[in-house]
Structure formats: C-alpha cells, structure tokens
Amino acid sequence: MRFAPGTRFCYSSYGWTLVGAVAEAAAGEPFLDLLQREVFDPLEMRDTRLDDPARPVAGTTRFYWPRAARDPTYGIEDANNPDNSCI
C-alpha cells in the first residue's frame, strides 16, 4: 500500500484488475467468458470487446497525439497503440 487506508487516495486501474481476478477465480472460468455470458450477451452488446493484445479487434478507435487536435494544420499522426492490458 502506498499510504494508510482512509488517509489519501490515488486512482489506479490495478484495483479493477484485482476485481477481475477475484471474479474469474470465483466463477472458475476466464474473465472474458464470464463478462460475455453475464454482461455482454444479456445486454445485447454485440460490438463490445475487451483489449486483448494477442487478438487485436478490428474497428477499434485509433490513438493520436493531442497536439494534432489543437492545431488542424498539424495533421493526424498516429501514436503507438498502447497495451492497456495487464498481461
């Protein structure tokens, strides 16, 4: 821990990674399968996918440098696709 509970906070996605790991262990199946069955299918979320660097999904958004948005003469320069997974 970075500091005593209740004294400060610092946002981090690692807590959600832990929640996913706990859900996966409790369900006894891969987290992606659990989400597909319990969330995506019931809500008919047909175009929702989680990041998986091993299997890139077609049609995802493109990352770009913010300076291109501020200066239209600059043009769009693709940033490297980040790996937001914890694999």
pLDDT at 41: 95
pLDDT band at 69 (very low <50, low <70, confident <90, very high): low
Mean pLDDT of the chain: 77
Percentage of residues in the chain having pLDDT higher than 70: 61
Mean pLDDT of 23-46: 93
**CB neighbours of residue 64 within 10 Å:** 13
Residue 78 DSSP symbol: B
The yes-or-no verdict on residue 78 having pLDDT over 60 is no
pTM value is: 0.54
Amino acid at 81: N
Buried b (16+ CB within 10 A) or exposed e, 28-47: eeebeebbbeeebeeeeeee
